[in-house]
């Protein structure tokens, strides 16, 4: 069985891929029905549990606008919208030690008879001061809200929502950064934040996922020092239903392109066996295809490659792509084993996490099938320009077949 040896790793400036770590706070909402979201701490877990939900805005003017019902969190129950936030500033040492954190929540339902579907939503935001979170109200008739939009300014450094027009939208301080059609109005929203500190102006890379598939990457900055309150917001004319909130530490990994060799090396024989390498990406290239051209770096070429170009997209990136390397059978005077290198040229949009990728050249060994001008050694029975045990095998076979000389055999007794 052949082994795959990773020989080439390329790390990018933008970050993709993340490993979940410690659960800081989670809530399944599996507790008795109540108009007080944290009347019971049943269903809460994580190192910071239990936490208190601060219900900063109930759009209907009634306590039922935010409630626990059927072991789920209902918000914007009735007319209007609702905002709430957790009474904890998520700037914990555990987050900085891990290099980031993630927030995820299930959007079970957005129910509305309204026609402005892009403004009927369910989502969460991070990077607020407590005062901002407490003051955030309605999208249309108040100065601020969590997301932004309408006449209200957004107070979250980053907000992501799922809307009734089948889209995931990402925002920063009320500015719409991107809209991604996901073809659904329910599913799991997740954002992974890579950060080294919580200083005002520090850069943060955010990766957005819907139902486990990465759909966007953004770069933001913290607006305030040491301010990372996290809130939930929903707007509907009937109800928004959340479930399974989770806030975890997260280790974010660099995007990488990997070239894997069979048996730890790449070797092809002139006039004989070819070899393969497998090229793979560590994460989705999102909306930006990654193209790789592959050529023999020597002139004249010593090998051919097929295909000479690979293209990775958001649809096919999860499968490694094979390149077949075949030695060119020439008549040049060359060593029994000589070599060349494969050169890779990577092209990607400037917004791609793989932009600027450089893959080191890959060594390829070539086994000669003739011996150039000097001919074959008389003991080279299989004519591979090497004298070894394989030749002894052929010698023994000839001896058995030609132990008595005849005009068509070589007499090995001489």
pLDDT in tens, 280-321: 998 778 778 999 999 999 888 999 999 999 999 988 988 999
Tally the C-alpha atoms within 13 A of residue 323's C-alpha that lie toward its C-beta: 29
195, 221, 253 - which closes a domain? 253
Q: Is residue 98 part of a domain?
A: yes
Assess whether 228 and 310 both reside in one domain: no
Assess whether 215 and 104 both reside in one domain: yes
In the chain, helix, strand, coil percent, each to 5? 10, 45, 45
The answer to whether 268 touches 276, Cβ cutoff 8 Å, is no
Region 75-88: what's the mean pLDDT? 93
Separation between Cα atoms, residue 339 and residue 337, nearest integer Å: 7
The answer on pLDDT for 364 being more than 90 is: yes
Assess whether 294 and 227 both reside in one domain: no
Residue position matching structure tokens 């993709």: 16
Assess whether 185 and 293 both reside in one domain: no
Assess whether 129 and 155 both reside in one domain: yes
Assess whether 85 and 45 both reside in one domain: yes
Q: Is residue 231 part of a domain?
A: yes
Q: Is residue 125 part of a domain?
A: yes
Residue 10 has a pLDDT of 38
Q: What is the SS3 assignment for 192?
A: strand
Residue 55 has a pLDDT of 94
Residue 139 CB partners (closer than 8 Å, separation 6+): 81, 119, 145, 147, 148, 149, 150, 151, 152, 235
Note the pLDDT tens digit of each residue in 102-124. Answer: 999 999 999 988 888 999 999 99
CA 133 to chain centre: 31
Assess whether 275 and 299 both reside in one domain: yes
Separation between Cα atoms, residue 121 and residue 163, nearest integer Å: 4
The answer on pLDDT for 231 being more than 90 is: yes
Which structure tokens are listed for 112?
């509305």
Which structure tokens are listed for 6?
């990773």
Region 196-209: what's the mean pLDDT? 91
Residue 144 has a pLDDT of 95
Residue 2 has a pLDDT of 39
Residue 367 has a pLDDT of 86
Identify the band that residue 331 occupies on the pLDDT scale cut at 50, 70 and 90.
Answer: confident
Mean pLDDT of the chain: 87
Assess whether 118 and 173 both reside in one domain: yes
Assess whether 272 and 198 both reside in one domain: no
Assess whether 203 and 115 both reside in one domain: yes
Question: What CATH number does the domain containing 321 carry?
Answer: 2.60.40.2030
Residue 399 belongs to domain spanning: 387-414
Q: Is residue 7 part of a domain?
A: no
Residue 11 has a pLDDT of 33
The answer on pLDDT for 370 being more than 60 is: yes
Assess whether 239 and 280 both reside in one domain: no
Q: Is residue 378 part of a domain?
A: no
The answer on pLDDT for 222 being more than 80 is: yes
Which structure tokens are listed for 342?
């494969």
Separation between Cα atoms, residue 58 and residue 32, nearest integer Å: 20
Q: Is residue 135 part of a domain?
A: yes
The answer on pLDDT for 13 being more than 70 is: no
Assess whether 171 and 298 both reside in one domain: no
Residue 223 has a pLDDT of 97
Residue 8 has a pLDDT of 41
């Amino acid at each position: 069985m052949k082994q795959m040896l990773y020989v080439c790793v390329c790390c990018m400036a933008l970050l993709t891929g993340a490993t979940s770590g410690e659960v800081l706070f989670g809530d399944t909402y599996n507790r008795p029905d109540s108009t007080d979201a944290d009347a019971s701490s049943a269903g809460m877990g994580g190192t910071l549990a239990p936490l208190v939900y601060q219900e900063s805005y109930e759009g209907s003017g009634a306590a039922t606008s935010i409630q626990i019902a059927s072991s789920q969190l209902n918000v914007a129950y009735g007319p209007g919208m609702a905002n709430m936030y957790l009474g904890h500033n998520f700037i914990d040492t555990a987050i900085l030690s891990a290099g980031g954190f993630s927030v995820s929540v299930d959007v079970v339902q957005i129910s509305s008879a309204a026609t402005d579907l892009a403004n009927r939503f369910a989502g969460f935001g991070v990077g607020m001061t407590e005062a901002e979170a407490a003051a955030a109200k309605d999208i249309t008739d108040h100065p601020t809200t969590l997301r932004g939009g309408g006449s209200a300014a957004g107070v979250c450094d980053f907000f992501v929502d799922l809307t009734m027009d089948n889209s995931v939208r990402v925002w920063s301080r009320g500015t719409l950064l991107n809209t991604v059609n996901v073809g659904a109005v329910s599913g799991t929203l997740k954002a992974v934040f890579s950060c080294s500190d919580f200083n005002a102006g520090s850069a943060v890379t955010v990766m957005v996922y819907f139902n486990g598939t990465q759909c966007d990457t953004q770069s933001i900055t913290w607006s305030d020092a040491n301010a990372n309150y996290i809130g939930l917001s929903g707007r509907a004319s009937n109800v928004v239903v959340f479930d399974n909130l989770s806030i975890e530490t997260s280790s974010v990994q660099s995007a990488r392109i990997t070239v894997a060799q069979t048996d730890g090396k790449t070797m092809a024989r002139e006039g004989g066996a070819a070899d393969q390498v497998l090229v793979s990406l560590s994460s989705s290239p999102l909306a930006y295809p990654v193209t790789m051209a592959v050529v023999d770096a020597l002139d004249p070429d010593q090998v051919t490659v097929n295909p000479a170009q690979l293209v990775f997209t958001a649809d096919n990136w999860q499968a490694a792509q094979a390149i077949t390397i075949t030695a060119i059978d020439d008549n040049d005077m060359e060593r029994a084993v000589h070599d060349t290198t494969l050169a890779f040229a990577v092209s990607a949009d400037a917004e791609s996490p793989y932009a600027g990728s450089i893959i080191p050249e890959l060594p390829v060994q070539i086994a000669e099938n003739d011996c150039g001008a000097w001919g074959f050694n008389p003991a080279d029975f299989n004519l591979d320009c090497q004298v070894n045990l394989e030749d002894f095998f052929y010698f023994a076979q000839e001896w058995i077949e030609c132990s008595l000389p005849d005009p068509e055999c070589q007499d090995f007794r001489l």
